[in-house]
Chain A
Amino acid sequence: MASHELVIEGLRAEVEGREILRGVDLVVRSGEVHAVMGPNGSGKSTLSHVLMGRPGYRVTGGAVTLDGTDLLALEPWERAQAGLFLAMQYPVEVPGVSLEDLFAESFRAAGRDLADVRDRMVAEAERIGFDERFLARQLNVDLSGGEQKRNETLQLGVLRPAIAILDELDSGLDVDALRRVSRRVEEATTEWGLGVLAITHYSRLLHELKSDQVHILVQGRIRESGGPELAQALEAEGYARFGVDESVDGEPAAGVAADPFADPFADPLA
């Protein structure tokens, strides 16, 4: 089994001049599942975007390495080729481009054999209940939110990265689909030693995807880390002890009244 290590040290980043990440430290190794939870605006999605190098995000400090390679010095495609994968919260529609086009170019750049790509696509689709007729579709075009998430998971299975960031993978998936997708990810951790960084607001994902460690991200910093019991504690209390009135199961937190002055237009993706 391969042994890889994603090391995030003191990562700071800003968007449009506003500092969102204020020093994040995390280590994800092969075979491990780490959950990063946090309330709206805590910087969860920013963390995923910064790690993959999405345009519009500026790193202002810290370091990110994968097996010692400085990821922040690489272009997004080079990060992917180095073994990083991002399952996006909102996968982008790319009209006129098929999954096979994407795999062909990605494999070609990596010098990987293309011969069995088609078979692997079909096998991966079956494992997660992704209708085979979607394989010929234009990327993410006319797919429902849940289909898009399965499509992301399928790509993870075909590309076989060292480390996968799953950004709100559960959103859009019904219980059954979430279970199958979670099974697939868990199996990957033993199949080829995938390391997982699962970013989520709600504990729902963690009921299906067993995590080794849970980290609470608040205002751009990891405020607490622990085992799965930390997610359970959060489920009971919400994010209240971090000074935020938000539940983690989609319902108002027990004993905490919803903040009547909360900004209803607050960006839940920040």
Chain B
Amino acid sequence: MNPVDTVTLPPGPGWLEARRTASGERLAAAEVPSTDEEVWRYSRIGELDLAAYRPVPGSPGSDVVEGARRRADRVVGERAGLAVVVDGHLAHVELDEQAAAAGVVLGAAADVAGGEAVLGAVFGARDDYFGALNDAGAPAPAVLDVPRGTALDRPIVVVHHTAAEGGLSLPRLAVRAGENSEVALVDLAASEDVAALTVPVVELDVGASARLTYLAVQDLGPRVWQIGTQASRVAGQARLVSATAAFGGDYARLRTDCALTGRGASGDLLAVYFGDGDQTLDFRTFQDHVAADTTSNLLFKGAVGGRSRSVYTGLIRVRPDARGTNAFQTNRNIKLSEDAWAESVPNLEIENNDVRCSHASTVGPIDELQRFYLESRGVPPAAAERLVVAGFFDEVLGQLPAPGVVAELRRRIADKLEQQP
């Protein structure tokens, strides 16, 4: 089934058309996954009615772009560039002179020099259904290309907005941080209060000795479905810090693949998430140690209230050549209500003996003694709960690569706590 073959995509250069065609063929042959597959276990994929969503043909009005710009101003502040993507269409791009003069490229893969090399470099031809769907149907894949040796002192911001009722949006962002470059990227995903499906793919290609930080804030409306992928490749001596804060969506899934392909590469994978109402927040992570002396550190912390659910499954894979690997994986969950539910399944697959690996996972209510300690000082129960939960997230927030955004995340967490019965 190919839900995108009924619309005409904006035409692109030959290489892009060829890519779309090949992916369209794979998509036509692929099956929508089911919960029988391990990586879709505990998911709500069985509820997805793809026919209920239609690709969104055109770009939005300028008021949407203006709203996105204000959001970037408020949440991030000073920046080196901004791209606004609405329902998968690249609606607006701005890049400050300094960054442009340094050779930084931000724009549509179809238009910019090097687009062909960057798009798909990390997330190549995929047989998985949603990967192929994005590849075949993304109307305007975007590229951020930072040349070797370039350091940006302010972040690049990408705002992903979902606006069309009944829309299927397929945003694609491919990032290349050149050798020994340094760049911070903040990705703000939000939506109107619409029923929509978004299938975003973000590729992060971190060149040798480069330092890339990526922070995604997912604040979609309560009727939006997200089936997202974030794939990264980290070269020798390079460092990736990739963080996600997930608050919104009806069913919001994010698959994170981090491949450490060069000797001495490191990847920190962080997440905070907070579900309430009937939400499901679903995370699948893969720490893939390909090369020797690589380090990955994963810390995902979440809270679930109301009747919401969270799923975490993670795999650390250490390949035969990856001696000297350090790999850590921790997932902790607080259940704020009896009806909330959190699943946590960490896993290891180790094919080399010279490694240090650990994994830990917990699911439980707010610590009774922590609450008692605060209450014994005169703090009322609701405030004690708020302090303990905010403190629980602090371990992750303190490590986030974009300190300016942390205030917004704390506010968001406080909002969510206020809404708890």
Q: Are B370 and A75 in contact (CB under 8 A)?
A: no
A92 touches B379 (CB 8 A): no
**Do A77 and B392 have beta carbons less than 8 Å apart?**
no
Interface string of A74-96 (1 = CB under 8 A from B): 01110111000110100111111
Knowing A55-B368, A105-B383, the reply to whether A138 touches B391 (Cβ < 8 A) is yes
Count of chain A residues with a beta carbon within 8 Å of a chain B beta carbon: 32
With known contacts A95-B394, A96-B394, A97-B387, A81–B378 Cβ distance under 8 A = yes
Encode B394-411 as 1/0 by CB contact (under 8 A) with A.
110000000000000000
Q: Is B374 a contact of A54 with CB atoms below 8 Å?
A: no
**Chain B minimum-CB-distance residue to A97:** B391
Known A-B contacts A55-B368, A94-B388, A95-B394; A139 and B380 likewise in contact (beta carbons under 8 Å): no
Tell me, in angstroms, the Cα distance from A88 to B394 when the chains sit together.
Answer: 25
CA distance A77 to B375 in the complex (A): 4
Chain A residue at minimal CB-CB distance from B370: A94
The complex places the Cα of A109 from the Cα of B376 at a distance, in Å, of 13
Q: Using A96-B391, A96-B392 as known contacts, say yes or no to A109 and B378 having CB atoms under 8 A apart.
A: yes
Please give, as numbers and ranges, the residues of chain A lying within 8 Å of B394 by CB-CB distance. 95-96, 138
B369 touches A106 (CB 8 A): no
| Least Cβ–Cβ distance between A102 and chain B, in angstroms | 6
Q: Is B390 touching A159 in the complex (CB atoms < 8 A)?
A: no
A153 part of interface (Cβ distance < 8 Å): no
B384 touches A105 (CB 8 A): yes
Q: Given the known inter-chain contacts A95-B394, A97-B387, A97-B388, please indicate yes or no for A139 contacting B373, CB distance below 8 A.
A: yes
Select B373's contact among A79, A85, A94, A108, beta carbons within 8 Å.
A94
A95 in contact with B377 (CB, 8 Å): no
Least Cβ distance of A100 to chain B in Å? 11
How many residues on B have C-beta within 8 angstroms of the other chain's C-beta atoms?
Answer: 23
CA of A211 to CA of B391 in the docked complex: distance in angstroms? 39
User: Nearest Cβ in chain A — how far from B380, in angstroms?
Assistant: 5
A155 at the interface (CB under 8 A from B): yes
A194 proximal to B (CB < 8 A): no
Residue B247 interfacial (CB < 8 Å): no
Q: Does any Cβ of A come within 8 Å of B130's Cβ? A: no
Nearest CB in chain A: distance from B208 CB, A? 36
Question: B-facing mask of A134-167, CB < 8 A → 1, else 0?
Answer: 0000110000000000000001000100000000
Contacts of B383 in A (CB 8 A): 105, 108-109
Q: How far is the CA of A173 from the CA of B372 in the complex (A)?
A: 24
Give the distance in Å from the alpha carbon of A155 to the alpha carbon of B379 in the complex.
13
Which of A76, A93, A101, A103 has a CB less than 8 Å from the CB of B376?
Answer: A76
| Complex contacts, B392 vs chain A, CB 8 Å | 95-96
Q: Say whether A52 faces chain B, with CB atoms less than 8 Å apart.
A: yes
Given A55-B368, A55-B372, A105-B384: A95 touches B391 (CB 8 Å cut-off):
yes
Q: What are 14 A-B interface contacts by the 8 Å CB criterion? A: A77-B379, A80-B375, A88-B373, A93-B370, A95-B392, A96-B390, A97-B387, A102-B374, A105-B374, A106-B377, A110-B378, A138-B394, A139-B373, A159-B378
Which A residues form the contact surface with B (CB < 8 A)? Answer: 52-55, 75-77, 79-81, 85-86, 88, 91-97, 101-103, 105-106, 108-110, 138-139, 155, 159
Known: A97-B374, A109-B378. 7 other contacts (CB 8 A): A55-B369, A76-B372, A77-B375, A86-B376, A96-B392, A97-B390, A106-B378
